[in-house]
Structure 1
Amino acid sequence: MRNRTAAVGPHRSRLQDTAVNTTHSGPHAARRADDATPDRIRRIRVSSVRLPLDTPVSDAKVLTGRQRPMTEVALLFAEIETENGHEGIGFGYSKRAGGPGQLAHAREVAPELIGEDPSDIGRLWTKLVWAGASVGRSGLATQAIAAFDVALWDLKAKRAGLPLAKLLGAHRDSVRCYNTSGGFLHTPVEELLDNASASLANGIGGIKIKVGHPEHKEDLRRLTAVREELGDDVPLMADANQQWDRPTARRMGRALEDFGLVWLEEPLDAYDSEGHAALAASLDTPVATGEMLASVAEHWELIRAGAADVIQPDAPRIGGITQFLRLAALAEHQHLQLAPHFAMEIHLHLAAAYPYEPWVEHFDWLEPLFNEGLEIGDGRMHVPFRPGLGITLSEQARQWTREECEITDRP
C-alpha cells in the first residue's frame, strides 16, 4: 500500500497509472492519493418544533367539517454531523396531527445512520425505510425519514461548496413564485385583496386563493373581486382542497374557465385519479394535484391515468429529496408541469433543477425558523448562493423546540 501511494506522482506515465489501476482493482483496492477522504456520520440531533400561527387558518376542509382550523405547524428537524466536521440540516412537517408520531419514528430509526458514509444517500434511504417497514413504506414512516434524507443532501451540497440546486444540475437560477398564505377562506374579501396587492408589491409573481365555500356563488364572488383588482395579466390559481364531488367539480370547473386560471387545484379527492383525468380532459383550465399523496407510487397512479396537468409533490411528504427526484423524472417523461407544495426552502432548489419552467409556492409561515431569508423579485424566487439549502436554524426555532434528542450510538 505504501509503495503504491509513493509511486503515484506527476512523472508517472499514463501506462503506469493504467497498470496500477488494473492490478489493484476490486473493493479492497488501495486509494489513490487524490481520492476523496471517507467520512462517517457520528452524531444526529432530532428535534420537534411547534410553529404557532398568528391566526387560525381555514380552507374548504374546515367548512365541510372534516378538519379543525389550523393553529400550528409541527416541524421535525434532523441535524447530522460527520467525523470530519461536516453538517447537514433537514426538516419535515405535519399539520393538525402526526407530529409526535413522526418524532417517535425518527428517534427509532436514526441509530441506523451512525457510522454510515453520508454520501450513500440512496442506500441510506432504503436502509431507513426498511428499518421501519412494518408500519409501511409511505405516510408517516417515510415522512419521518424525510428529514434525514434532506439533511444528507444538504450536507452533500455543503461538502461540494454548492447550492443544492447546482449540485443537482440547475436549469435556472430563479423560479416563478406565487403566494398562498394570504388567500385562505377565513380571510375577508377586503383583506384578501390587500394581501394579494402586498404580495405583488413584494415581488411575488402569482396569487392563489382558496375556493370550496358551501355556497358556490361566494367562490365566484371572491374570484371576481380578485381578478378585477389584479387585472387579467396577473397569474391566478384556485384551490378547492379536495372538497368537491365529481358533478360539482365539473360545474365549477366550467364556471371558472373565464377567469383564465393558471390551474385549478385539488378539485377532487386526492386519490380519485379517474375523476381528475376525466375533469382534466374536459376543461381548458389545467388541473393540478398531488400535494396530499405520500409516496412516489401514489403519484405514479395520477401520472399514469393522465390525472394532472400540473403535478404538486411535497418532498417531506413523500420521503425526502431522493424520492422527489425519482418522481420528477417520471413527471418530466410525461411532460408535466411542476409546482411543489409548501416548504419553499427545500422546493426552490428542486424546482430550479426541473427541465420545464416550474412554480414554487411562497408561504411566509416558516420564515421565523431560519436566520436566512429568500430573495424574491420580478415574480421570481432566487436560488441562494449559500451552499446546501442555505439555511440555519434561528434562535426563535430553538425557543419553539418542544423535544429533542441526540443519537451517537449504533443500534
Structure 2
Amino acid sequence: MADAIRSLTLSHVVLPLETPVSDAKVLTGRQKPLTETVLLFVEVTTEQGHRGMGFSYSKRAGGPAQYAHLREVAEVAIGQDPADIDRIYQSLMWAGASVGRSGVATQAVAALDVALWDLKARRADLPLAKLLGAYRDSCRVYNTSGGFLQASVEEIKEKASASLEAGIGGIKIKVGQPDWREDLRRVAALREHLGDTPFMVDANQQWDRDRARRMCRELEAFDLVWIEEPLDAWDAVGHADLSRTFDTPIATGEMLTSVPEHMALVDAGYRGIVQPDAPRIGGITPFLRFATLASHAGLALAPHYAMEIHLHLAAAYPTEPWVEHFEWLNPLFEERIEIRDGQMWVPDRPGLGFTLSERMRQLTKDTVTIGAA
C-alpha cells in the first residue's frame, strides 16, 4: 500500500566550533577563520507513521539561504509517496527552477533527499549501506580536524598521535600557505613523526598551475596518499593534467555542486581521486548517480566531510574509499560511529543510524513544519 509524506519539519541550526580554524584560504586573505557550521535539518513524517532525518550544511555563508529556499519549495513534496525519491527530487528542482540546479538550490534539497533515503532504509529495517548494497562493513578512515594551519607543528603532532591512538588510520594536514617553504617544512616534520602512517595534504585551491606543478614535484618525496585541491576546484583540465603527470594521486571534487560539474573532471581525462560531498552535490540521489559514473571510469572515491552520511555511501562503492573523520557534528546526534583498527564501521542501526540530540534542539535558531502537524 502506498504511503504519503504528511509533514516536513525544517530546522536552521548554528553549531559553533570550540576553536576557530584556518586553512590556506585564510592565510592568503580570501576568507576569514571558520567559527561555525550552519546546518539545515529535515525531519519527514508519513501518513503511515514512518520517519526519516537528513541534513545539509554550509560554512561561512549560505546557511540561511538553504533554509529559506527549502522552506519555499518543500510543499510540493507533501502528499507524494516517500519511496519515489527521484521523482520527488525532480519536482523540487522544477519548483525552484528559476535559481538553477546547483549551489544553494540543490544543497537545500539535499537535506530532504537524505531524509527520504534515511526513511526508506528505516522502513526496510536496514542500515542505509545495506539498502544500497554494501561491499563492506567498514571503510578506511583518516582525520582532518587536527591539521589546520592555525595550529603549530607540535600541536598537529599531538593531535595526530591522539587520532591514531583512537583507532584512526590516516592523517591529513593543510598546506597552501603564501610561503611554500613553510608548507614543505611542516609536511617533512609530520612525515617524520608519522613514520609509514598514511598521510595526505590539502591545499584548498590556493595554487595556480605553475605553483601546483612545482609543489606536486616537491611533495612526491613524502609518499603521500594524495594531494588535495592543488588548483581552483573548477579547473578540471588542470587537475586532470596533474593527475596524469605525477605518481602521487590528486584528489578534488568537494566544492562541486552538481553531477555535471563532477563529470567535467571525467571528460577532461582525470585519473585521480574524486571527493563528492552528498550535501553539496545535492543529496544522496545525485551522489549515487555520479558514483556509478566514477566507478565506470575507474576512479577512486574519498567523500568529503559529513561522515554520518558518507560512511554508508562509501561502503556501497565497488573499491574501498577513505572516509573523512570530523568530530565537529558529534553534539548534534545521540550516537557515535565506531572507529577501530584504522577503520570506520557502518552502524547496524536502521537508516543512517542517528537520532537528533537535545543539544541540536538548543542550537536551532528557527524551525517550521510544512504539512499536517
Runs of 4+ that moved beyond 2 A? none
Deviates more, 1:299-308 or 1:50-59: 299-308
Aligned to 2:280, which of 302, 317, 331? 317
User: Residue 47 of structure 1 aligns with which residue?
Assistant: 11
User: Residue 18 of structure 1 aligns with which residue?
Assistant: none
Q: Note if 1:391 corresponds to 2:328.
A: no
Aligned to 2:142, which of 178, 191, 194? 178
Partners of 2:62 and 2:178 in 1: CA distance: 28
1:3-402 to 2 correspondence within 5 Å? 37-231=1-195, 233-402=196-365
Partners of 2:362 and 2:294 in 1: CA distance: 39
CA contact (8 A) 1:288 1:308 kept: no
CA contact (8 A) 1:289 1:308 kept: no
Partners of 1:359 and 1:229 in 2: CA distance: 21
The residue type equivalent to 1:339 in the other structure is A
Q: Kindly provide the CA deviation profile for residues 30-70 of structure 1, in whole angstroms up to 9, marking residues without a partner as x.
A: xxxxxxx2211101100011000011110011111111111
Partners of 1:60 and 1:245 in 2: CA distance: 13
The residue type equivalent to 2:46 in the other structure is T
The residue type equivalent to 2:218 in the other structure is A
Partners of 1:306 and 1:266 in 2: CA distance: 16
Partners of 2:55 and 2:113 in 1: CA distance: 9
User: Residue 15 of structure 1 aligns with which residue?
Assistant: none
User: Unaligned 5+ residue runs, structure 2?
Assistant: none
Partners of 1:171 and 1:165 in 2: CA distance: 9
Partners of 1:154 and 1:305 in 2: CA distance: 34
Corresponding residue SS for 2:205: coil
Partners of 2:233 and 2:191 in 1: CA distance: 27
Q: Kindly provide the CA deviation profile for residues 276-320 of structure 1, in whole angstroms up to 9, marking residues without a partner as x.
A: 111112111000000000000000001111234100000000110
User: Unaligned 5+ residue runs, structure 1?
Assistant: 1-36
The residue type equivalent to 2:103 in the other structure is G
Q: TM-score, normalised by structure 2?
A: 0.99
Corresponding residue SS for 2:86: helix
Deviates more, 1:92-101 or 1:215-224: 215-224
Q: Percent identity?
A: 68
Corresponding residue SS for 1:88: strand
CA contact (8 A) 2:244 2:271 kept: no
Aligned length: 373
The residue type equivalent to 1:160 in the other structure is A
Over aligned residues, Cα RMSD in angstroms? Answer: 0.9
Partners of 1:182 and 1:313 in 2: CA distance: 22
Partners of 1:244 and 1:311 in 2: CA distance: 19
The residue type equivalent to 2:146 in the other structure is G
CA contact (8 A) 1:174 1:352 kept: yes
Q: Kindly provide the CA deviation profile for residues 66-97 of structure 1, in whole angstroms up to 9, marking residues without a partner as x.
A: 11111000000000000111000000000000
When Rg is computed on C-alpha atoms for both structures, the one with the higher figure is 1
